Amino acid sequence: MRPPINRMKKFVTILSFVSPIFVWSNTITISPDTLYVSMQGGGTSIEQVTIYNQNSFPVNLDVLIIEQPSGNRLLNGSQNRYLSESPGIIRDFENDIQYMDSNGEWIEGVRCATLSTPEEVLLNVQQDLENNRLQRSNQRNLVNVQVAWHVIYSSSGAGNISNEMISDQIDVLNDAYAPYDIFFTLDIVDYTMNDDWFNDMDQYENTYKQQLNIDPIHYLNIYTGNMPFLLGWSWLPYSWPEGSYMHGVCLLYSSLPGGSSYPYNAGDTATHEIGHYLGLLHTFENGCSVNNDNVSDTPQEDDGNNIYSCNATDTCPNDPGMDPVQNFMTYTDDACLNQFTTGQGDRMTDMIATYRPGLLENPIAPDWITVNENSFQVPANGSYDLAFSFDGSGLTGGDYLVNIYFEEATLDTTLMLPAILHIEGITGLDISFESLIDTLYTNEFSNSFLEMNYSGTDLLIYQFDYDISWVTVLGGDGTLENEESQFITFNLNSLFMDTGEYFGEVTLSTNMGSLPIYLTMVVLEPLGINDGTIPMKFAVSNNYPNPFNPSTQFSISLPERVFVNIAVYDLNGRKVATLINSIMDNGIYELKWEGKNDSGSIVSAGVYILKVDAGTFHYNQKLIFIK
């Protein structure tokens, strides 16, 4: 898969694209208004799109294709947070390094001010990671970390770093993290002059973060300024709730590439602190203990003065391997640091899925759709044809969605074309469901039956693969000939399980391809009422149909009387329609959206967000409107 859209190389474009002015001008139109392609896995297709320009002058357009994936959020384990929620944190460290200030003078300071994690907390975190790994139904192999950069500088101009330094720092991060399929996209840069904040970022951390932060769920917020004797710090992902403004990375402005803080001025202070942001500990954490940094392929390293030296040492001789002096998560100079390990990459993947799933919801560039031209000109009062190629190779059954943006800088206009690729199941095989949702009380069993009907000419050899403790597939391997059928039993059990939602994936593997079957089990506490009509928990059903036209339906379950706000938003965060805004009694309600805005007009084809807020319950899901 390709890396995410790289906007950091065109800095001016970055700022304009973050908050574009969408002018849906009738003078530039696209046909069709939705690309919908259905094919078998492994198939290909080429679809034509025509852009019409009714202006008396030619129009230059750039094409940007963005996939908006799901973060596959889980409710169990990933909600645990283990450190104090008080923002009044006091950092008390002894000076352990020397670096140059802006005047070329050597000063004593602290390499990293990220707080250590108590051992009992690490045990809980490790359990969370393992639980999440078992539950989550898919593995994202690409993460786009969107960056919101906050430059804090003084009235004298100190700290007012250049766009070039920021862009160079993003390049350093991508060089370090790209081998582990983690990429950084610079989306937002803002500048704030405040002498108090600049001169003591440690003391005023709570204040400037509360005022400057941008969507910590989907953005890495980086703050640069001055901090007495500190190079930087971060918060570990399990320190705060996912949406807390306290998340983010704070850096000494002169530690960026080209800064004055030699020998820590090549940008790897940011690499180090973002490692903490993504859940990595120091390689010398816990010294020569067995757990060390909870990564198996980073050799143990004593936490003495050797952690500042790039010389080859082995301070834990009973553990295989030399000290990882070149690892980004130790304390050596920037010039020495050049690597993470495979185990650290895996741990970051687990940490993101467990504690920072919002990063998995950020847009990426898909590889199953391409366009023959990325930039083109539509003649005055004319049209232009583009060819979009769809490739189903390696894709399993289901729907794949992208938004295709056509940008015109002079007119400040952006038009969006939704594109949907539907991958059908295995050729000749029909199954009765591709996803299963079941609700059980604790210590219960349930059986669901998957019907398989085969109409192919060649022998179909199949098996069901899964690694889920609460599912047993009976009759899970065999063969089917033409016109044969088979019933497969999915046995779900909630033995000794806590209440909540559990997610899993069973893969139907055959000699003609494979497809996933997604499972959701909701475990409820025993009913405390007699009639069973009052829901035991807040819930929102999937809307059906989706994609839809002209309307889609969904239900909400309210276990108590509460104020409810339900609204539809577009992808730019603008409210389109309000469906509910009132106090509602407990119960189950069926609701419908007919694809109209609050003015009663039919909305444009595209992707919208259904947002449900009911007391402390908050829920979002995507709605795809087609014409």
List, for residues 223-264, the tens digit of each pLDDT value: 999 988 899 999 999 999 999 999 999 999 999 999 999 999
Residues of the chain with CATH 2.60.40.10: 11-68+364-424, 429-524
- Exposure string of 90-114, with b = 16+ CB inside 10 Å and e = fewer, is eeeeeeebebbeeeeeeeebbbbbb
Residues 6+ apart with CB under 8 A from 604: 24, 33, 416, 625
Residues of the chain with CATH 3.40.390.10: 97-280+340-360
The one-letter amino acid at 313: T
Specify the CATH number of the domain 539-625: 2.60.40.4070
CA–CA separation, 438 and 485 (whole Å): 24
Residue 557 and residue 606 in contact, taking contact as beta carbons nearer than 8 Å: no
CA–CA separation, 36 and 399 (whole Å): 10
- What's the pLDDT score for residue 329? 96
The residues that bridge with 486 in the sheet, in sequence order, are 452
Q: Output phi, psi for 519, to 5 deg.
A: -120, 140
CA–CA separation, 387 and 480 (whole Å): 39
**Residue of 205, 273, 301, 407 with catalytic role:** 273
Residues of the chain where predicted confidence (pLDDT) is lower than 70: 1-25, 68-92, 134-141, 394, 396-398, 411, 425, 525-533
CA–CA separation, 240 and 243 (whole Å): 8
> Could you give the 3-state DSSP secondary structure of residue 125?
helix
CA distances from 472 to 11, 464, 466, 572, 579 (A): 53, 10, 9, 43, 41
429-524: CATH, from 3.40.50.300, 3.40.640.10, 2.60.40.10, 3.20.20.450: 2.60.40.10
Specify the CATH number of the domain 11-68+364-424: 2.60.40.10
CA distances from 509 to 408, 463, 514 (A): 46, 5, 4
Task: For residue 343, give the nearest of 361, 322, 329, 357 by alpha carbon.
Answer: 329
- What's the pLDDT score for residue 91? 63
Residues of the chain with CATH 2.60.40.4070: 539-625
> Could you give the 3-state DSSP secondary structure of residue 564?
strand
Question: Dihedral of CA 562/563/564/569: which sign?
Answer: negative
Residue 221 and residue 247 in contact, taking contact as beta carbons nearer than 8 Å: yes
- What's the pLDDT score for residue 441? 75
Half-sphere exposure of 112 (CA within 13 A, CB side): 30
> What 8-state DSSP symbol labels residue 414?
E
Predicted confidence (pLDDT) per residue in 144-200, tens digit = 999 999 999 999 999 999 999 999 999 999 999 999 989 999 999 999 999 999 999
The residues that bridge with 590 in the sheet, in sequence order, are 555
Predicted confidence (pLDDT) per residue in 574-601, tens digit = 889 988 888 888 888 888 899 998 878 8
- What's the pLDDT score for residue 410? 73
Beta strand 219-225 pairing with 143-153: parallel
Mean pLDDT of the chain: 85
Task: For residue 29, give the nearest of 59, 73, 64, 65 by alpha carbon.
Answer: 59
Beta strand 552-558 pairing with 539-540: antiparallel
What CATH class has 97-280+340-360?
alpha beta
Catalytic annotation on 273? Answer: yes
What is the rounded radius of gyration, in angstroms, for the C-alpha atoms of the chain?
Answer: 27
Percent of the chain with pLDDT over 70: 88
Angle at 83 between CA 294 and CA 342, to 5 degrees: 25
Q: Count Cβ atoms below 10 Å from residue 399 Cβ, excluding itself.
A: 13
> What 8-state DSSP symbol labels residue 261?
-
